[in-house]
Chain A
Amino acid sequence: MKATGLNQDLLRAAVEEFPADEFSAARSSAVAKLAGVGFPTVGDEDWKYTNLGLAAEISNGWLKTIIANHGAIAEQSNSEQVAMICQEIDAHWIIIQNGIIASDSLAELDGQAGSGISLSKLEFADKDDADDDAMSLFNVALLRDGLRITARANATTDKPIGILLADSPSSAVTQTRIVIDVGDNAHLRVVEYNLSVDPGRQFTNSVVQANLASGATVDHVRIQNRADDHVGVNKVTVNLDRDASYNHNSFDLGGALTRNDVITKIAGKGAAVNLNGLYLATGTQHIDNHTSILHLVGPSTSEEEYRGILAGSSQCVFNGKVIVSPGADGTDSRQSNHNLLLSDRAEIDTKPELEIYADDVKCAHGATVGQLDETALFYLRTRGLGMDEARKMITRAFAAGTLSTLAVTECQDHLAKVLDQRLDNLIGDGQ
């Protein structure tokens, strides 16, 4: 099957239908930049395993709808799931529905989320638009709203800030854009929840940019629990100044196709990046995690552990790039990727990429791919546990390893619950 590409004529025509707003100029500029580029294809090394053909197909259909409706997009209502999540995870919640911030949630929260924390609609500035890769440009090309979180120097929050991306196919393509600026020694905790409130084909494309000033800390938990036929592309870019820390936990549970890029740049001495991820896939799910840690200066540290559990005919990708720039001496970097395959039809492509241009560095990496240990299963069964229970116990223990590093503990109970439900599905599908 030949992959469909993004139809640039449709894109241009659709964007012209959008009512004029503060993003008009940025949209036009992004459309122009995207013209010569288009969506990445499997011919691009970074997209070797992830085919965006379906994303392009959904996009082209959606662009036609926008043109037919002269830019009008149906609003979407709240759902029970949203209410449940907001109740189960204690946070200051902001609801973003199909890329549009529910205005009441922002008005309620601004000034309430902690002293020195402000939440506002994004005013698009050129400095935020530094990325000109295709998916970032596509994000801007159809952008209708955005969120800015600013933490002044020394600011802290009593509860995490929750950002709930509640998307539904009433808008078949959704762009979300979040910019986070964290001042000197401020500490911001964020839960980003990616949810499909209705089933159906949908493509969401999100961009998160975080800038951490000297001594700032950001804890960022990202939970993706999308519907079965959802296509998601998510990009997180983080810049760290001196002694800043970025702690990231990502949990990918749902979706038909998910691609995550986490790109961190350490630009100040003493900064630390911790990336942790868990992906659970079954059926024909495809989950691709690309991470990049750039040590521009040293001493600095990065620690990364991603774990995957794969059942059915799922396919997952882990690509972890660590770059130690010339002069970044004193870099200490550890990376690992462990995978548990519950089915012999599941596939994992795991690739660490280390580029080291400095002398005095410590870098370690490792990847494992294994099945459930038969001896361990037998051992548990001799203790009276049934086969399914034994499989579940070992699988759950494997997944639980990623919860021990959870940066925002308010999510713990909810995560334990949804992980358990998902693992039940995987184990049922495993054999």
Chain B
Amino acid sequence: MLEVKNLKASIVGKEILSGLNLSVAAGEVHAIMGPNGSGKSTLAQVIAGQTDYEVTDGSVEFLGKDLLELETEERAREGIFLGFQYPVEIPGVNNAYLLKAAVNAKRKHHGLSEIDAFEFLKLAREKMAMLGMDQSFLNRGVNEGFSGGEKKRNEILQMAMLEPLLAILDETDSGLDIDALKAVANGVNSLRDPERAIVLVTHYQRLLDYIEPDYVHVLSGGRIVRSGDKSLALELEERGYEWVREAANA
């Protein structure tokens, strides 16, 4: 589904990704781990289309299409979802209004009719119940005055409504207490599907106790330096990132 080859990207002239390779197939859950500054978030942002980063080399293919040629919104409509590490507050933009506009933008792209208000509300309520979100969130401004946990739940709600083919969740576990973490993990697990791939970007192993990955990759210095199964995450937890860095430099 996703083929990243020799990806190099920089911001204001500083190279962050230095020849990254990653292959993700439908139905798989990948965890990308790594120390701060290793390029985890950059990878997520580049795939979503953040133009602050300049791609200097390499390619990214999504379902055989050259992703780097597509605008951010086109990538989203094709089925890519980025769960933000820091979800953006947009005062005055109603949460339900955004959700509906997003769902309809995607439906329109795929030649489907717009969802009606009744159907939309029914769907949104269902997903919110699953995430333990109060329905009043629908009528609030997007992330406006939300707590950290509420913001992350809201990201998962958007993902659940948009039903992406590829979901990249950037540090979705950061700043969550245990109840919120469980709710978020529950939401993500409910979306595991043979048709869908999920990439979890995380610093800590904790999230992987609740969402079991098929593959774990370690990012260091802008490249994937180790890949393995979930046992790699446990090893990292035990030994820290230093040994990976040393191994990579060796």
Contact = CB atoms under 8 A, between A and B. Distances in A.
Contacts of B141: 397
B105 A385 contact: yes
Contact of B101 (A373, A375, A393, A400): A393
A384 B93 contact: no
A384 B110 CA distance: 12
B38 interface: no
Contact of B106 (A375, A376, A384, A397): A384
Given A381-B72, A385-B73, A386-B105, A394 B90 contact: yes
Contacts of A401: 91-92
Contact of A383 (B50, B92, B98): B98
B88 A381 contact: no
B74 to A, nearest CB: 9
A379 interface: yes
B102 A384 contact: yes
A382 B106 contact: no
B93 A385 contact: no
A56 B88 CA distance: 49
B90 A382 contact: no
Contacts of A379: 84, 87-88, 90
Interface band, chain B: 20 to 34
Q: Which residue, B88, B109, B162, has most C-beta atoms of chain A within 10 A? A: B88
B46 interface: no
A380 to B, nearest CB: 7
Contact of B93 (A382, A386, A394): A394
B184 interface: no
Interface residues of A, number: 22
B92 A380 contact: no
A386 to B, nearest CB: 5
Contacts of B162: 383-384
A375 B158 contact: no
Interface string A366-401: 000000010110111111111101100110111011
Given A375-B88, A376-B88, A381-B76, A393 B93 contact: yes
The residue among A379, A384, A397 with the most chain B CB atoms within 10 A of its own CB is A384
A378 B51 CA distance: 9
B87 A382 contact: no
Contacts of B96: none
Contacts of B102: 383-385
Contact of A382 (B48, B91, B101): B48
B72 A382 contact: yes
Contacts of A393: 90, 93, 97-98, 101
Interface string B115-155: 00000000000000000000000000100000000000000
Interface of A: 373, 375-376, 378-387, 389-390, 393-394, 396-398, 400-401
23 contacts: A376-B88, A378-B72, A381-B71, A381-B76, A382-B76, A382-B81, A382-B82, A382-B84, A383-B101, A383-B102, A383-B158, A383-B162, A384-B102, A384-B109, A385-B101, A385-B102, A386-B105, A387-B71, A387-B73, A389-B105, A393-B93, A393-B97, A401-B92
> Which 7 interchain pairs have the tightest Cβ spacing?
A397-B92, A384-B105, A384-B76, A383-B102, A379-B88, A381-B72, A397-B93
